[in-house]
Amino acid sequence: MTTAMPSARFRLTGPALAILGTLLAGTCAMPFVGSATIDAESVRREELLVRRNIVLWIDEVENGLKPYSISDEAIERIDNAFDADWVKMNLASSIFAGTQNRLVAVLDGDERLLAYEVAERNANDSLFQRRSEMILNRARLLVRSARIFERSRPATIAPDKIAESTIIMVDGIAILLTATIIQPDFRDSLPKGPRAPVLITGRPIEGGIVEAFSTRFLLRNAVLQWVSSATDEAVTEMETSGLAHAEIASDGFSELHIVWEPFQPGRTMLEKAMPLMVVSILAFLLSALFLLNITRRATDALLTSEAQLRHAAAHDVLTGLKNRRTFEETLARLAARGPLTLACFDLDGFKPINDRYGHAAGDAVLQTVAERLQRACRPGLDEAFRLGGDEFALLLPGLVTMDARSTCRSISSDLAAPITLPEGTVQVGASVGFATVEGPESLRTALLRADAALYRAKSQRRVAIETADACVEDEATGRPDVAA
């Protein structure tokens, strides 16, 4: 029972521990998982917003060129009669002053270069001179796209910008390149041919886009960062470090990303709620420990009650000896292991004591008899039982007939010793009948033989010990073997 108690306790309290552990783990993990989910969604939305507004930013840049590209004077000075000085002193200088463009180039209707002006305010602007041919080639691709809209636009509609833009990489610098069709506004001057001249502008975006986006979207510590197109390690590193990013341009070998520290509402909420969470978790733990203690106590009470019920079912309530039900089970188990002696005891002189001094005195006598029988048992070998009333039994494994007779004689002598009660000193005797049990098949026969031997012993009207084998022989010879 002692070994089974921890296992049974675990089976009963284990589910409660598992439920409480799961609830605690869920309570602790839920805020962090929720915070991470909220922050991830916030980063995704910020990145999506920035990517979409890159297009809007480019559209704003194109709209900023409308005063220079929708003009009757521009048609007159460029297409009708080309004026190089006007282009340089008025058009280019106005664009350089009013926008962040560093390149102004003009193509005629056949896409021949008419003018190519560079602001050259800093060292980076020199790349517009060094790489002019590459820049113009990319610009002509934009012009072809813009011509499609030019041809499809009805002349009766009020003029609006016709422009195409792209971000290109030139010597490691990102440039916003825009091709805008020059159109008349009041139509006082019209293009000579079917195709109008084109205004080409270019501007580095290193400072402009970062400043514009930082102001517009409150991007924290926004910077531009180059990432190799051949590997995504840099992108993974940015995401792992909690940074948000959006691709701006690519040259096939590397990509330009705008990188910033995203707003993290989940983390902010978690930090502010942390004191309350700690208090809540502690309260949960205390409640869990309290419930666990109640569960443990209830489990212990249940197991103790179960053990008591099992003990009561297997033992005599008065004497504490095993009862008749256990006697039959134990007899079968020990008989399966080897020979044993079954001894049945019946008290002599018990009824007068019970009648004279009462049931309390009788119970005390029975308890004393049980204690003496228990002391007579060999530890770990013999078993003592109360079969009912004043009937007792012993199972003596491994004892032969002579040894069993000697043992039973000694036990009978012990039982005959005086017993001191509050009412006075009393004495009982015991008649004993025993039989040898050789195997399971002889259990019922052995029990009947032991009872028969006990009956013969009691018929002598004195303390007697009778063997079942002797009784059989006596029936044959007519001379009963009775020993005191």
State the SS3 of the chain. CCCHHHHHHHHHHHHHHHHHHHHHHHHHHHHHHHHHHHHHHHHHHHHHHHHHHHHHHHHHHHHCCHHHHECHHHHHHHHHCCCHHHHHHHHHHHHHHHCCCCEEEEECCCCCEEEEEECCCCHHHHHHHHCHHHHHHHHHHHHHHHHHHHHHCCCCCCCCCCEEEEEEEECCEEEEEEEEECECCCCCCCCCCCCCCEEEEEEECCCHHHHHHHHHHCCEEEEEEEEECCCCHHHHHHHHCCCEEEEEEECCCEEEEEEEECCCHHHHHHHHHHHHHHHHHHHHHHHHHHHHHHHHHHHHHHHHHHHHHHHHHHECCCCCCECHHHHHHHHHHHHHHCCEEEEEEEEECHHHHHHHHCHHHHHHHHHHHHHHHHHHCCCCCCEEEEEECCEEEEEEECCCHHHHHHHHHHHHHHHCCCEEECCEEECCEEEEEEEEECCHHHHHHHHHHHHHHHHHHHHCCCCCEEEHHHHHHHHHHCCCCCEC
Burial 6-15 (b: 16+ CB within 10 A, else e): eebbeebbee
How many residues does this entry show for the chain? 484
Q: Which residue ranges in the chain fall short of pLDDT 50?
A: 1-3, 462-463, 470-484
d(CA 41, CA 173): 32
pLDDT at residue 95 in the model: 94
pLDDT at residue 471 in the model: 34
Burial 361-395 (b: 16+ CB within 10 A, else e): bbebbbebbbebbeebbeeeebbbbbbeebebbbb
d(CA 183, CA 65): 12
CATH code for 64-206? Answer: 3.30.450
The pairing of beta strand 424-426 with beta strand 391-397: unpaired
**Which amino acid, residue 73?**
E
Burial 171-204 (b: 16+ CB within 10 A, else e): eeebbbbbbbbbbbbeeebebeeebbbbbbbbbb
pLDDT at residue 470 in the model: 41
pLDDT at residue 73 in the model: 93
State the SS3 of 344-360. EEEEECHHHHHHHHCHH
pLDDT at residue 156 in the model: 63
pLDDT at residue 463 in the model: 45
Q: What is the pLDDT of residues 262-288, one digit of tens each?
A: 888 877 777 777 787 777 778 877 877
CB 376 within 8 A of CB 412: no
pLDDT at residue 12 in the model: 58
CATH class belonging to 324-477: alpha beta
Q: Which two tokens stand for residue 312?
A: 């009561």
Output phi, psi for 424, to 5 deg.
Answer: 145, -175
Contacts of 24 (CB under 8 A, 6+ apart): 281, 284, 285, 288
pLDDT at residue 67 in the model: 92
The 10 Å Cβ neighbour count of residue 281 is 14
Q: Which two tokens stand for residue 330?
A: 């134990």
Instruction: Using the structure block, give the residue that is written with the tokens 């159109």.
Output: 183
Instruction: Using the structure block, give the residue that is written with the tokens 């004026």.
Output: 83
pLDDT at residue 373 in the model: 92
d(CA 127, CA 121): 12
pLDDT at residue 478 in the model: 30
Q: Provide the CB-side half-sphere exposure for 449 (13 A, CA).
A: 20
d(CA 398, CA 91): 126
pTM of the prediction? 0.51
Contacts of 361 (CB under 8 A, 6+ apart): 353, 354, 421, 422, 423, 426
Strand partners, 322: 315, 385
pLDDT at residue 475 in the model: 30
d(CA 281, CA 293): 18
d(CA 200, CA 206): 19
pLDDT at residue 263 in the model: 81
Domains of the chain by residue range: 4-59+265-306, 64-206, 212-261, 324-477
